[in-house]
């Protein structure tokens, strides 16, 4: 798959008090964090995503529970099961993504390289294929 999505190991520190996981924009991940949000309470059998970003890079982390992330670059697909809060999946721009199979109580944290801008999103798959053909 082009654009090199992949798992990033996050800083993890464990002692008798518990575990602390750290993400530092520009240090532990290859972009500055401009926006953060999290997804919760996804009903059984439902999904999220179903879009691509024109310019933004994202890091998705299953901070609790698990979910499946399907990435599509217009030529091939990769499927990841995220279930470790000390790992994040880097999703570069120009990758169609679908989140599904959320476990009960799952929390998906998303860190993004840019602020919210609706024009940044590609929400229809045929438009995504046309974008990739440019």
- The catalytically annotated residue of 14, 16, 51, 53 is 51
Residues 6+ apart with CB under 8 A from 104: 44, 65
16 is catalytic: no
Cα 79 from chain centre: 12
3-state secondary structure of 95: coil
Cα 112 from chain centre: 9
| Alpha helix segments (H runs only) across the chain | 125-133
Where in the sequence numbering do the catalytic residues fall? Answer: 51
């Amino acid at each position: 798959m082009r654009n090199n999505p992949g798992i990033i190991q996050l800083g993890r520190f464990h002692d008798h008090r518990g575990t602390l996981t750290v993400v530092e924009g520009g240090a532990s991940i290859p972009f500055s964090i401009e926006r953060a949000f999290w997804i919760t309470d996804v009903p059984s059998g439902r999904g999220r995503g179903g879009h691509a970003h024109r310019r933004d890079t994202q890091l998705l982390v299953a901070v609790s529970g698990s979910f499946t992330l399907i990435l599509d670059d217009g030529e091939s697909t990769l499927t990841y099961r995220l279930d470790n809060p000390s790992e994040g999946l880097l999703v570069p721009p120009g990758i169609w993504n679908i989140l599904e199979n959320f476990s009960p109580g799952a929390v998906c944290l998303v860190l993004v390289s840019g602020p919210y801008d609706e024009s940044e999103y590609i929400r229809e798959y045929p438009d995504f294929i046309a974008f990739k053909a440019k």
